[in-house]
């Protein structure tokens, strides 16, 4: 007989450990245990059977893997936590004795310094692994960079987050790694591609943040401490890969004046400007250079700079092409068109990195005071614009602060054009100096006047150009115009779904436009209102009783010649019997009123119409021919009936084919059809709304 195993020593009970036992085993406090788990990337686990793990206990307990806790026993940070705990005891003892100077000296000289460098190397063996985990880090750091300083969020942490985020933005500008951006309710989403890895993060808007008391900033501060170390390593690697000196020089005076990106001065090792290295590499090789070491960046850039640009063509080659009659190559991208209704939709080719990186390079753009300067400056510079100006009140670092500068080609405004009477008065100009002249006038720009030759657009134009990879029509984004829909660049409409960007004629089903036109005609002619009134059939009053109009019509239509008052047991008598009421001689006839006369005339018209229908049926001719007003059938009505018949036949054919399937597959097909029908109804509703909007615009 084998040895009997003790309960809880093998299996799932051995693989998991409770949080209380883990804290006791590591001999640290619960807050330090939480910090250590966040640093090391260890999270609670959910066992399949809690009763087996917790030894039949049903209490709510947090479990960890036993191997993870064993791994933490050899962590060097444990000694730092214990030293900090011992120092806290010494400081508390000194304060208890009233020795404040000794307590300050102990805190200044004996506070243990913790570094997370070894943890970064353990969790991310390669640089690509660190890039894959950069999404949450950037979102958290950009959030803390926009928070106000409080007791829970110290100013040093905010300044560190701002510096790291701006350094990362500078690399994206230099390398042209930014690809897409989207304005949402939560904030601004950005996507960059670095060494083949797509990184998506969220940046909040520059609003005043209201910090509530239900946020645990201790946990978030632990994540920020880890993420700042991670982003510092990544920035160092990215800067050195393109031959930049890290960290870049920081101008504190410019930062105090709101310079932000302009407060950093980038320098290359052995070069006057690191931007020259990247630009030469882009122009010569056709794409952004890959990550290389700083020492090799100089040699690689020199080799690429000596190569001739492939885009340059000599006069002889141009003349040869013209002589042969060959067409010159265009810069447009080929697109794959759908050949059939049920054909697969192929992904369209996107613009290359060189085309998008120089999207705004020929322009000089001026930002008005009401526009968000920080995201616009970052986007414009990341896509090639070297000359971005704004008013001096927005901060330091502008290319020009003069709104009337003739070099400005585009001005981004976010205010509609207003009549001159509603604008405030122009302040008096400052007294002119001797050099300026006495005839100097105050510089007044938008919205009082526009500069000839300058394009005025709204901020959404920049985002739509970036997402589409090409310049959009500026007239669609003129001040005060209704902007096109701003859609997420990461959500692509699937087959059968509503696509706001595609024309309505390409998406609507067969016969859908005719049905909409028929509904509009019915609404205009008031047919729907008449039908609803006929269905309701307001009761009429006859001989002191209320009767339905349908009953009267049925009765009049059923009377044959020779009958009439000889019919016994009328409808009114049966109703009187059911209600248990008897009519007195005085109530039988109370004279004719105007209402009763109109009712009699209506019933007479109905009777005559019924008589005409019987005569037309006997002769075999339409009723309209008897009246003399034959109306031709509407083409839309005929098309609608044709398409309805076709759909009905297709549905019947589908039902017949469905009956041939086994029951299991038939149920699966029903579930698929349910989801497809739900999607089609939603798409049809959206198309109907869009068609109504377009019809209203067309009418105006």
**Residue where the block lists tokens 């190569």:** 307
pLDDT at 301: 47
- Does residue 289 carry a pLDDT above 50? no
More confident: 546 or 642: 642
Structural domain includes residue 26: yes
CA distance 203 to 106: 40
> So what's the pLDDT on residue 121?
93
**Lowest-pLDDT range, 360-369, 405-414, 553-562?**
553-562
Q: Are residues 169 and 234 in the same domain?
A: yes
Containing 456, the helix (H) or strand (E) segment is: strand 455-457
Which of 240, 265, 290 is a domain's end point?
265
* pLDDT exceeds 80 at position 456: yes
Question: Which residue has better confidence, 275 or 154?
Answer: 154
Could you give the CA distance from residue 428 to residue 443 in angstroms, rounded to a whole number?
11
Residue 158 contacts residue 145 (beta carbons within 8 Å): yes
Say which range, 56-65, 366-375, 646-655, has the weakest mean pLDDT.
Answer: 56-65
**pTM for the structure as a whole:** 0.68
**Mean pLDDT across the chain:** 75
pLDDT, greater one: 595 or 142: 142
Give pLDDT, residue 214: 83
Is the domain of 85 the same as that of 102?
A: yes
Q: What is the DSSP secondary-structure string of 30-98?
A: HHHHHHHHHHHT---B--S-HHHHTTT--S---EEEHHHHHHHTT-THHHHHHHHHHHHHHHHHHHHTT
| 198 shares a domain with 64 | no
- Tell me whether residue 173 is in a domain: yes
387 DSSP β-pair partners:
364
Q: Are residues 225 and 121 in the same domain?
A: yes
Between 216 and 637, name the one with better pLDDT: 216
In a shared domain, residues 26 and 57: yes
Number of domain units in the chain? 2
Tell whether the model's pLDDT for residue 390 goes beyond 70: yes
CA pair distance 9, 4, nearest whole angstrom: 11
Task: Say how far apart CA 508 and CA 683 lie, in whole Å.
Answer: 9
pLDDT number for residue 135: 94
Please check whether residues 178 and 242 belong to one and the same domain: yes
Q: How far is CA 230 from CA 145, 163, 164, 318, in A?
A: 16, 14, 10, 53
Q: Which of the two residues, 596 and 489, has the higher pLDDT score? A: 489
Give all strands (DSSP E) within 171-284, no chain letters. Answer: 178-183, 188-194, 197-203, 249-250, 264-265
Residue 179 lies in a domain: yes
Greatest mean pLDDT range, 345-349, 590-594, 606-610: 606-610
Using pLDDT thresholds of 50, 70 and 90, give the confidence band for residue 550. very low
Is residue 77 a contact partner of residue 26, using CB atoms and an 8 Å limit? no
Together in a domain, 258 and 159 = yes
Among candidate residues 247, 260, 299, the one with its CA nearest the CA of residue 277: 299
Range of the domain at 148: 117-265
Residues 233 and 121 occupy one common structural domain: yes
Q: Please tell me which residue, 559 or 633, carries the higher pLDDT value.
A: 633
Predicted confidence (pLDDT) at residue 324 exceeds the cutoff of 50: no
How high is the pLDDT of residue 60?
A: 77
Omega before 447 cis (within 30°)?
Answer: yes
Q: Are residues 254 and 150 in the same domain?
A: yes
Mean pLDDT, rounded, for 31-35 = 92
Domain assignment present for 7: no
More confident of the two residues 187 and 347: 187
Answer yes or no: is 630 within a domain.
no
* Lowest-confidence region among 53-62, 136-145, 247-256: 53-62
Q: Are residues 255 and 134 in the same domain?
A: yes
Q: Output the six-digit token pair for 72.
A: 């933490």
Same domain, 53 and 100: yes
Domain presence at residue 121: yes
381 within 8 A of 354, measured Cβ to Cβ: no
Q: What percent of the chain has pLDDT over 70?
A: 66
Domain termination residue (choose one: 265, 284, 306): 265
Question: Rounded CA gap, 233 and 127, in Å?
Answer: 10
For the chain, what percent of residues have pLDDT higher than 90? Answer: 32
612 has a pLDDT exceeding 70: yes
Report d(CA 68, CA 40) in Å as an integer.
10
pLDDT at 133 over 50: yes
* 422-439: average pLDDT: 52
The DSSP secondary-structure symbol of 498 reads -
205 confidence band (pLDDT: 50, 70, 90) = very high
Q: Mean pLDDT throughout 531-559? A: 44
Q: Provide the pLDDT for residue 441.
A: 45
pLDDT at 568 over 90: no
The confidence band for 299, taking pLDDT boundaries of 50, 70 and 90, is: low
Give the per-residue pLDDT at 321.
36
For 341-347, what is the mean pLDDT? 50
Six token digits for residue 514: 């005719």
Per-residue pLDDT band at 430 (split at 50, 70, 90): very low
pLDDT of residue 451 exceeding 80, the answer is yes
Is residue 291 pLDDT above 60, yes or no?
A: no
- H or E segment to which residue 235 belongs: helix 217-241
HEC string of 115-172 equals CCHHHHHHHCCCHHHHHHCHHHHHHHHHHHHCCCCCCCCCHHHHHHHHHHHHHHHHHH
User: Span 668-686, mean pLDDT?
Assistant: 84
Q: Examine the pLDDT at 150 and tell me if it is beyond 70.
A: yes
Q: What local confidence, expressed as pLDDT, does residue 492 receive?
A: 80
Range among 237-246, 272-281, 678-687 with highest mean pLDDT value: 237-246
Q: What is the pLDDT of residue 625?
A: 55
pLDDT tens figures, 496-505: 778 777 777 7
Least confident of 15-24, 106-115, 433-442: 433-442
pLDDT at site 208? 83
Question: Does residue 284 have a pLDDT over 50?
Answer: no
Residue where a domain terminates, one of 250, 265, 280: 265
Same domain flag for 178 and 123: yes
Query: Is residue 604 situated within a structural domain?
Result: no
CA–chain centroid gap for 600, Å, is 64
Residue 433 has pLDDT above 50, yes or no: no
In this structure, are residues 105 and 87 in contact, taking their beta carbons and an 8 Å threshold?
A: no
What secondary structure does DSSP assign to 346-385, as a single string?
PPPPPPPHHHHHTSSTT-EEEE-TTS-HHHHHHHHHHTT-
In this prediction, residues 82-106 reach a mean pLDDT of 90
- Range with top average pLDDT, 133-147, 201-215, 496-510, 513-527: 133-147
Residue 252 domain flag: yes
Is 82 or 556 the better-scoring residue by pLDDT? 82
């Amino acid at each position: 007989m084998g040895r009997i195993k003790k309960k809880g020593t093998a299996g799932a009970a051995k693989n998991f450990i409770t949080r209380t036992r883990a804290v006791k085993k590591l001999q640290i406090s619960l807050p330090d245990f939480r910090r250590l788990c966040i640093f090391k990337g260890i999270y609670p686990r959910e066992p399949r059977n809690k009763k087996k793990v917790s030894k039949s206990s049903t209490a709510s307990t947090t479990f960890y893997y036993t191997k993870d806790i064993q791994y933490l026993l050899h962590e060097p940070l444990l000694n730092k936590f214990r030293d900090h705990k011992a120092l806290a005891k010494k400081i508390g003892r000194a304060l208890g004795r009233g020795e404040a100077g000794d307590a300050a000296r102990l805190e200044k000289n004996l506070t243990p310094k913790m570094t997370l460098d070894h943890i970064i190397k353990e969790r991310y063996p390669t640089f690509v692994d660190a890039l894959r985990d950069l999404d949450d880090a950037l979102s958290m750091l950009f959030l803390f960079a926009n928070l106000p300083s409080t007791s829970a969020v110290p100013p040093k942490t905010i300044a560190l987050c701002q510096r790291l985020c701006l350094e990362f933005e500078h690399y994206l500008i230099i390398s042209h790694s930014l690809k897409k951006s989207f304005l949402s309710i939560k904030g601004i989403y950005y996507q960059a591609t670095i060494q083949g890895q797509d990184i998506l993060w969220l940046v909040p808007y520059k609003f005043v943040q209201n910090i509530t008391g239900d946020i645990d900033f201790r946990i978030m501060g632990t994540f920020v401490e880890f993420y700042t170390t991670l982003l510092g390593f990544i920035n160092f690697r990215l800067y050195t890969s393109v031959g930049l000196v890290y960290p870049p020089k920081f101008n504190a005076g410019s930062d105090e004046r709101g310079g932000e990106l302009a407060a950093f001065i980038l320098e290359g090792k052995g070069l006057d400007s690191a931007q020259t290295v990247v630009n030469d590499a882009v122009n010569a090789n056709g794409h952004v250079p890959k990550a290389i070491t700083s020492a090799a960046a100089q040699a690689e850039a020199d080799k690429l700079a000596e190569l001739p640009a492939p885009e340059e063509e000599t006069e002889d080659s141009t003349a040869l092409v013209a002589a042969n009659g060959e067409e010159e190559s265009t810069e447009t991208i080929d697109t794959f068109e759908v050949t059939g209704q049920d054909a697969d939709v192929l992904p369209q080719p996107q613009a290359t990195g060189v085309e998008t990186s120089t999207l705004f390079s020929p322009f000089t753009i001026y930002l008005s005071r009401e526009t968000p300067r920080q995201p616009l400056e970052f986007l414009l510079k990341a896509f090639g614009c070297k000359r971005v100006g704004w008013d001096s009140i927005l901060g330091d670092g502008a290319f020009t602060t003069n709104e009337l500068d003739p070099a400005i080609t585009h001005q981004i405004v976010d205010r509609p054009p207003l009549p001159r009477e509603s604008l405030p008065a122009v302040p008096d100009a400052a007294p002119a100096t001797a050099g300026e002249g006495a005839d100097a006038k105050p510089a007044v720009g938008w919205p009082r006047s526009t500069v000839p030759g300058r394009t005025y657009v709204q901020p959404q134009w920049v985002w739509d150009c970036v997402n589409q990879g090409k310049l959009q029509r500026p007239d669609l984004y003129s001040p005060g115009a209704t902007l096109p829909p701003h859609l997420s660049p990461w959500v692509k409409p699937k087959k059968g779904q509503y696509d706001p960007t595609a024309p309505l004629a390409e998406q609507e089903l067969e016969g859908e436009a005719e049905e909409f036109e028929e509904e509009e005609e019915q609404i205009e002619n008031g047919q729907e209102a008449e039908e609803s009134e006929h269905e309701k059939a307001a009761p009429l009053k006859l001989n002191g009783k209320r009767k339905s109009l349908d009953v009267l019509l049925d009765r009049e239509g059923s009377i044959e010649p020779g009958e009439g008052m000889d019919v016994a047991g009328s409808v009114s008598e049966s109703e009187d019997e059911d209600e248990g009421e008897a009519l007195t001689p005085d109530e039988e006839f109370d004279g004719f009123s105007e209402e009763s006369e109109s009712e009699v005339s209506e019933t007479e018209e109905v009777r005559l119409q019924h008589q005409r229908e019987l005569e037309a049926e006997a002769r075999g001719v339409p009723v309209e021919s008897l009246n003399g007003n034959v109306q031709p059938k509407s083409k839309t009505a005929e098309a609608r009936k044709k398409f309805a018949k076709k759909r009905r036949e297709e549905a019947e054919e589908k039902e017949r084919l469905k009956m041939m399937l086994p029951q299991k597959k038939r149920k699966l097909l029903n579930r698929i059809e349910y989801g497809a029908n739900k999607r089609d109804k939603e798409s049809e509703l959206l198309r109907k709304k869009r068609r109504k909007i377009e019809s209203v615009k067309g009418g105006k």
